[in-house]
Amino acid sequence: MVMAWRRSLWLAAFALAFSAFADAGHAGESERTQAEKAQPEKPLGVVELFTSQGCSSCPPADAFFAELAAREDIVALSYHVDYWDYLGWKDTLSRKENTERQNDYMRAFSSRSVYTPQAVLNGRVHVNGANRGEVNGALTRMAKSGEGMHVPVKVSRTSDRVIIDAGDAGTGPNDAHVVIVYFEPPQTVKIAQGENSGRKMTYWNAVTSIQTAGMWHGKAQRYELPLSEITKKGGCAVLLQSVGKDGMPGPILGAAFIHKP
């Protein structure tokens, strides 16, 4: 009888533990759902960091960028460039297209040269990507002065597609490209040579490709992407970016992350 009582007690304890585990699982799922819903339709801003594993000035910027990438109110994208590869280490995440995007920004800003670490904010200004004060201060000033994300961008999905809803412009530029930016999941790289030899760095949101999915003309409009394409990538963001008559990138008017299922 004692054995039966102990068995009943053990089963009750097991059931209680299983129930707590299940509740924790449901809570985690609920939190994930809420986190997706919590993504603001108008984030504080977009930070595009141009960096390189071979640049000795970049690790502080990369570390700061990791903090920005963890924030829900900032769309943070990291572009690894290839022009420092000659210093002895080929950046494992660099893309020629990333260097071309940085050069396009420099032409748009009428700048004489490119540099790393460079942070382009909202497609409007550039600052040293390691300078926390300049990055945070510029984002806050632009949000208050109307140069922030003033066009809402909402992302949803069905069983087979991703739906992007861009809102009305109100005032300001009313033509923009719908730009899809794909990036890698976090990667830890051990740098064996070059200026950062011996360092072990974790890189976030390293861009792999950029595509234009359509045009936006100032009025609310919907765009659809195959979900199968999104799930193939490590991560994805959408930028509503104006483009100058010369084809150079201009101010970013709205942005959002496209979360994988």
Alpha-carbon distance of 236 to 238, in angstroms, equals 7
Given a cut of 50, whether residue 33 has pLDDT beyond it is: no
Find tokens 């950029």 and name the residue: 210
Model's pTM, two decimal places?
A: 0.84
- What percent of the chain has pLDDT above 90? 75
Find tokens 């993504």 and name the residue: 39
Given a cut of 90, whether residue 37 has pLDDT beyond it is: no
**pLDDT for the residue numbered 169:** 84
**22-26, 91-95, 139-143: segment of lowest average pLDDT:** 22-26
Give me the DSSP letters along 22-70: HHHHHHHHHHHHHHHHHS-SS-SEEEEEEE-TT-TTSHHHHHHHHHHHT
- Across the range 133-146, mean pLDDT stands at 96
**pLDDT for the residue numbered 173:** 63
Instruction: Give tens-digit pLDDT for 192-220.
Output: 999 999 999 999 999 999 999 999 999 99
**pLDDT for the residue numbered 24:** 39
Residue ranges covered by each domain of the chain: 43-257
Task: State whether residue 187 is helix, strand or coil.
Answer: strand
Alpha-carbon distance of 23 to 146, in angstroms, equals 44
